[in-house]
Amino acid sequence: MRRITVVASLLILSFAYGGAAAQDDALALGERIYLDKCEYCHGDGVQKGGTFVLQARYQDALPALLTERTDLAPEYISAVLRTWTNGMAPFRPTEISDSEMEALVAFLTRNNE
């Protein structure tokens, strides 16, 4: 009986670790996509067009830097990425695949409360 308990515990730990590792991999991929595709306009500094526009829009009520936001809805991020929204051109699936978009959404929502 003890052997079954030990084996079951090891299986549970391996699934938990595997899930955490997969989540870490998704966040790392999402960060790479952000740095490659988004940071140019949404990075730190007023010279970054997207950050500048969001700063003017939110007037410090919300962070202009996407990486500092805690309120981004995954559905909203996906919609903005795929449709022309507020002056931001959409990314086609050939530019950011659906799986890459999921990783990017995971990265941008990692701070959500």
In a domain, 15, yes or no: no
Quote the CA–CA distance of 108 and 80 in Å, as a whole number.
13
The number of domains in the chain is 1
Domain that holds residue 38: 21-108
Q: What is the pLDDT of residues 57-105, one digit of tens each?
A: 999 999 999 999 999 999 999 999 999 888 888 999 999 999 999 999 9
Domain assignment present for 64: yes
- The CATH number covering residue 31 comes to 1.10.760
pLDDT band of 10, cuts 50, 70, 90:
very low
Write out the two tokens for 3: 């052997």
Q: Is residue 14 part of a domain?
A: no
**And the tokens for 49?**
């067009």
78 occurs within a structural domain: yes
CB-neighbour burial class of residue 33 (10 A; exposed 0-12, middle 13-18, buried 19+): buried
Quick one: which of 100, 82, 101 has its CA closest to 92?
Answer: 82
Task: Specify if 31 maps to a domain.
Answer: yes
**What number of other Cβ atoms are within 10 A of residue 76's Cβ?**
14
What's the pTM?
0.79
13 versus 87: the higher-pLDDT residue is 87
Query: Which carries the bigger pLDDT value, residue 53 or residue 16?
Result: 53
Tell me if 76 is assigned to some domain: yes
Question: Across-strand partners of 85?
Answer: 88
